[in-house]
Amino acid sequence: MAGKNDRISLTLRCTVCREENYLTSKNKKNNPNRLELNKFCSVCRKVTVHREKKK
């Protein structure tokens, strides 16, 4: 019997150009805060901070 799935899918958005670049998932129970990662933005052509998009 499988357990309850606490993972949700989300979109990461560049803070510089506001382009939505990445799709990922997170466990809402372990990480209740908004996700923030350094990722490469293809529009800016550099590594920038990407934050979880508001739904």
pLDDT digits (tens, 9 = 90+) for 1-53: 666 788 999 999 999 999 999 999 999 999 999 999 999 999 999 999 999 99
pLDDT given at position 15: 96
Give exposure, 5-28, as e/b (b: 16+ Cβ within 10 Å): eeeeebebbbeeeeeebbeeebee
pLDDT > 90? residue 54: no
pLDDT given at position 2: 66
Distance CA 41, CA 39 (A): 6
Q: How much is the pTM?
A: 0.83
Distance CA 55, CA 45 (A): 26
Comparison of pLDDT for 41 and 54, the residue scoring more: 41
* Domains observed in the chain: 7-52 (2.20.28.120)
Q: How far apart are the first and last CA of the chain?
A: 31
